[in-house]
A and B are shown apart, each in its own frame.
Chain A
């Protein structure tokens, strides 16, 4: 019986070579799902814009394009032949080669504002979500783990915060807290205070179910301290929930930020044209439809629950323009309810155009006036 020693000595061990254990963990596995990749690409684009947006902006976000400044247009129903004093408003510029997304009513470049303000939106979203997540982890996990009176008290706290409508609370807080308009840190903190409760409730429920699992029991029996059990045994098991709710809180925080910015309470991250009237750039339906498209594109680009929006800066801070509003409000005070909107029409909202047919024709005239002014 001959033993084929050659095969034994020469043939290397067949079969798959065992993969080094550390390879999988050492190299971050790239996601395969097209959805995740698409989301990450969008996120990356906004991240890059947030970082370099200010420098690649073609104009200074607050610079007024004086060359193309559109003359003020008479508000229909005021001026000569009417019982009301002449009232004017400026019109924004439509998109052009010089201004890709058109301009605001101050003739500021909307594209530059979009680029410059993405950073603040992203920053507030992430910061508020971080604060809210820390709050909810601390409160939710302690409520779930300690149980008893602690649980009662903390659950009550989060239920109360859940029941109070967030946006009105946010508005009142942002309105009263001084310098909230200029400090995005404060804005983020205020948003965090109004958004932590839901995550906290979820975490409490999950902690409650983890608390009595065998491995936690084992840790307790082996004499581990409470803090160690929470940090080492419980928290790692909560990470998926924490991560998911971090993303959703970022989303909520950005919504909240955009909402209070829309109200003029959050200040403009790019600084704001003080003393000017409070005209939102998206004001006039005739202006910058392309800007709207771009905004909705960025608005709807929701990836793992993430969204970024950069149209923060378009609305100048209410605080900054308060001086301008002051006299307006005092004057309007005296005018009766029926006619007051005429006074307010230009500086309240874009849709404040009168609805009767006379003013529709007036609008058409104005539009033609504007185009003739531009050319």
Chain B
């Protein structure tokens, strides 16, 4: 349990750092959001002292309080799930993010699972069949690993997307067909959601699977030199069992390094969502940035960080469950 608690401590600290960064940035860098908001408000009419105060309160800035008091208030608000008020959407940031989050989480969950499992299988097979035709897959994996997510997304839209110019196989705009369907548990809506998720998910899977393939292949090759694999072969176990032995042990370091992978995938998915106008959290981050809606930007940053930390914690728990040594230490 000790090791897990330690990791938990790291994540709590990371969450705190992220919260503090998002609290401090707008307050320490010159040109604060209140000035911007006041300028915007003044454009559409006079903004008197009361108006300025209203804006300050809306943005959660109370210039008459000390920074520390503001900080305490900020953390207190967060503890109540209050992330502030978005001026561009005119709604609480918390509820906005809650409406964006399912899109991102479903896409992220599916893409990560498929690319991890698929990457494990393909990586293991490539490693096992080293020196045969399977080696031809490696350059492809390297190629896809080298492509930035959003670029791959653009190419996929161009070739397969209905908004592209070539094959027009899949929907490539928005999270569902906003003309033909309305959100709800209807067949057409669910169908539409699935259809629209294919290309974004494929992009994330293709781009992230390559990394998993390469790292798992390398690990399996290292593991195959271990004595226990030799023993298993010498015992005359069927090849499938031997592969399973090697793969299971090779997966451990990959799971242990999941932190970096998940961070990359989340970062990539933000860009993919922007490419596809997919209504998840990444797309709205971009949207909020372009509207200078700092409250929303901060809120999204905090939530993305928390999601990533939760995913990391999950990976750690899985790791402890998988590895008896870690279980003993934990």
User: Which residues does chain A contribute within 8 Å of B309, judged by CB atoms?
Assistant: 163
A15 within 8 A of B: no
Q: Is the CB of A302 within 8 A of B21?
A: no
Q: Is the CB of A259 within 8 A of B267?
A: yes
Give the complex CA separation of A267 and B279 in angstroms. Answer: 26
Query: Which A300-346 residues sit within 8 Å CB-CB of chain B?
Result: 300, 302, 307, 309, 318, 322, 325-326, 329-330, 333, 338, 341
Query: Which B3-27 residues sit within 8 Å CB-CB of chain A?
Result: 10-11, 13-14, 17-18, 21-22, 25-26
**How many whole Å from B237's CB to the nearest CB in chain A?**
34
**How many whole Å from B172's CB to the nearest CB in chain A?**
6
**How many whole Å from A303's CB to the nearest CB in chain B?**
11
User: Which residues does chain A contribute within 8 Å of B158, judged by CB atoms?
Assistant: 285, 289, 292
Give the complex CA separation of A348 and B162 in angstroms. Answer: 17
Q: Is the CB of B162 within 8 A of A165?
A: no
Q: Is the CB of A352 within 8 A of B277?
A: yes
Q: Is the CB of B146 within 8 A of A299?
A: yes
A198 within 8 A of B: yes
Q: Is the CB of A156 within 8 A of B10?
A: yes
A255 within 8 A of B: yes
B276 within 8 A of A: yes
Binding stretch for chain A, among B122-130, B218-226, B297-305? B297-305
Q: Is the CB of A341 within 8 A of B22?
A: no
Query: Which B215-245 residues sit within 8 Å CB-CB of chain A?
Result: none
Q: Is the CB of B263 within 8 A of A165?
A: yes
Query: Which B280-294 residues sit within 8 Å CB-CB of chain A?
Result: 285-286, 289-292, 294
B163 within 8 A of A: yes
User: Which residues does chain A contribute within 8 Å of B330, judged by CB atoms?
Assistant: none
Q: Is the CB of A163 within 8 A of B259?
A: yes
Which of A296, A309, A330 contacts B155 (CB under 8 A)?
A296
B110 within 8 A of A: no
Give the complex CA separation of A264 and B301 in angstroms. Answer: 17
Binding stretch for chain B, among A41-49, A143-151, A166-174? A166-174
**How many whole Å from B74's CB to the nearest CB in chain A?**
15
User: Which residues does chain B contribute within 8 Å of A292, judged by CB atoms?
Assistant: 154-155, 158
A276 within 8 A of B: no
A-B contact pairs, 23 of them (CB 8 A): A162-B263, A164-B263, A165-B262, A167-B263, A167-B271, A168-B270, A171-B289, A171-B301, A172-B21, A173-B21, A175-B294, A263-B274, A263-B289, A333-B90, A338-B178, A348-B277, A349-B275, A351-B277, A352-B173, A352-B277, A353-B173, A354-B173, A356-B179
B contacts, CB < 8 Å to A: 10-11, 13-14, 17-18, 21-22, 25-26, 29-31, 40, 88, 90, 142-143, 146-148, 150-151, 154-155, 157-158, 161-165, 171-174, 177-180, 259-260, 262-263, 266-268, 270-271, 274-277, 285-286, 289-292, 294, 297-298, 300-301, 304-305, 308-309, 312
6 closest cross-chain pairs (CB), A and B: A167-B267, A163-B14, A329-B291, A176-B25, A160-B14, A165-B308
Known: A165-B262, A353-B173; 18 extra A-B contacts, CB below 8 A, are: A160-B10, A163-B263, A164-B263, A167-B267, A167-B268, A255-B148, A259-B150, A262-B274, A285-B163, A299-B148, A299-B151, A300-B147, A326-B40, A338-B178, A355-B173, A356-B179, A356-B180, A360-B162
